[in-house]
Amino acid sequence: MSACSLDETAIDLLVPAFYARVRADALLGPIFESAIDDWPHHLAKLKDFWSSVMLASGRYKGQPMPAHIRHERALSEEAFARWLAIWRETTDELLAPAVARAFQDKAARIAESLQLGMQFHRER
Ligand code: HEM
């Protein structure tokens, strides 16, 4: 199945598929398994996040920066590269090309700002 437009259906399809792959990944799986107890809650939160980011729904009220700074020792450059590779793979497989591209560009920008934030935090 492929979602043609950028809407809630695309997000509902994408988020669980992405985290299923992340959990099965040798590098990322253990990081997430040790940090997350309640997967349905995490998936619902990440659907809200992407809905806010891509559709301006305002559903996500959290703060991604401290959530990642908490785990900064595990979040290497290699881990980010893997996260983005799995994101690219999942979006390319599930979404129409233009929609996949929009999700990929956004994720790359957010990943960069998370990495800059963690770097700033380390240097303080
Ligand atoms: C939360 C890991 C990259 C978005 C989390 C949590 C973990 C995690 C373990 C749960 C934190 C906690 O509750 O203690 C990672 C890893 C990444 C990565 C290993 C790459 C190396 C990203 C990227 C984005 C993102 C690139 C966005 C494009 C989020 C959001 C949350 C979250 C929105 C929820 C924060 C909250 O609690 O409100 N991530 N993450 N993550 N992540 Fe990531």
Q: Is residue 2 part of a domain?
A: no
Pocket test for ligand 1, best of 39, 48, 68, 73 (most atoms within 8 A of CB): 68
ipTM for the assembly = 0.95
Q: Distance between CA 53 and CA 75 in Å, rounded?
A: 22
Q: Distance between CA 42 and CA 5 in Å, rounded?
A: 24
Q: Which atom of ligand 1 is nearest to the CA of 70?
A: 14
Q: Is residue 15 part of a domain?
A: yes
Q: What pLDDT, on a 0 to 100 scale, did the predictor assign at position 123?
A: 85
Give the total number of structural domains in the chain. Answer: 1
Q: What pLDDT, on a 0 to 100 scale, did the predictor assign at position 4?
A: 74
CB proximity list for 52: less than 8 A, separation 6 or greater: 58, 59, 60
Q: Is residue 1 part of a domain?
A: no
Q: Is residue 3 part of a domain?
A: no
- Residue 110 is part of a domain; what is its CATH number? 1.10.490.10
Q: What pLDDT, on a 0 to 100 scale, did the predictor assign at position 1?
A: 58
Q: Residue 34 belongs to what domain range?
A: 8-123
Q: Which atom of ligand 1 is nearest to the CA of 111?
A: 26
Q: Is residue 28 part of a domain?
A: yes
User: Tens place of pLDDT for every residue, the chain, 124 residues?
Assistant: 567 789 999 999 999 999 999 999 999 999 999 999 999 999 999 999 999 999 999 999 999 999 999 999 899 999 999 999 999 999 999 999 999 999 999 999 999 999 999 999 988 7
Q: Is residue 16 part of a domain?
A: yes
- How many Å lie between the centroid of ligand 1 and the Cα of residue 64? 6
User: Which of 61, 86, 75 lies closest to 112, judged by CA?
Assistant: 75
Q: Is residue 56 part of a domain?
A: yes
